[in-house]
Amino acid sequence: MSISSKNNLCVFASLREKCFSVLYGDTPKFKLSLLTIIVVVVLLLDLWTKALALQHLSPVYPKKIIDGFFSLTLVMNSGVAFGVFSGIESSIKAYLLLALSGVTVGLVIFYYFYEKSMHIAARFGLALVVGGAFGNMIDRWRFHKVVDFLDFYWQNYHWPAFNIADCAISIGVTLLLLDALLCIKRQ
C-alpha cells in the first residue's frame, strides 16, 4: 500500500469519526446547538399558542373541534402535570413549584452535557423536556398558574387539559424510554 493510500485511509477514518461524533452528539458544540434549537422552537410554539388561547378562548365556552372528542378550552392550572396539587391552596405553592421545576431543569441540563455516550434520540428527548419545562415555568412565573387549552374527552369523561409544553415533555420522556429500551435490546 502506498503512502498516498494510507493518507487517504487516515483522512477517511478521521472524517468517519467526526461524522459519527456529530451524529451521536458528543461534541460540546453539537450538544449546545441541539439543545438551543429545540428549546427555542418549543418555547416559541408554546408561548404563541398560549397567547392565542388567552386571547380567543373561554373557560366557560369551549370551542368544539371534534364534537364529543376534542375542544379548545381555557384552563388555568395551578397544579403540575394533569392538575396534580391543583386542590392545594397556598400563597407560596406557585413559588415552590417554580423552584422545584428550576432545580429539575438544572439537573436535566447538567446530565445532558455530562453524559458522554448518550444517543441522539435521548439528547433530543431531554431537550424537549427542557423546552417544555421552561414554557410552563414562564407561565407559573407570570400567572402563578399554567395555561392549558387542549381538551380531549369522551362524553363526560375529560382527560386533564394540557398545552404544547406538556406535549413536548411527554414526547421527550417517550423518546427517553424508547432509547432505554433499545439500549437494553442491543445488549
Catalytic residues, which ones? 148, 166
Q: What angle do CA 133, 73, 48 make, to 5 degrees?
A: 45
Amino acid at position 88, single letter: I
Please choose, from the candidates 77, 61, 38, the residue with its C-alpha nearest in 3D space to the C-alpha of residue 162. 77
In this structure, is the dihedral angle defined by the CA atoms of residues 176, 180, 185 and 186, taken in order, positive or negative? positive
Helix (H, G, I), strand (E, B) or coil at 163: coil
Grid cell 407570570 in the structure block, residue:
142
CB 83 within 8 A of CB 160: yes
Q: What is the C-alpha separation between 170 and 187, in angstroms, rounded? A: 26
Q: What is the C-alpha separation between 143 and 166, in angstroms, rounded? A: 17
| 144 DSSP assignment | S
Q: Where are the alpha helices (DSSP H) in 25-155?
A: 28-56, 93-114, 120-143
| 64 DSSP assignment | E
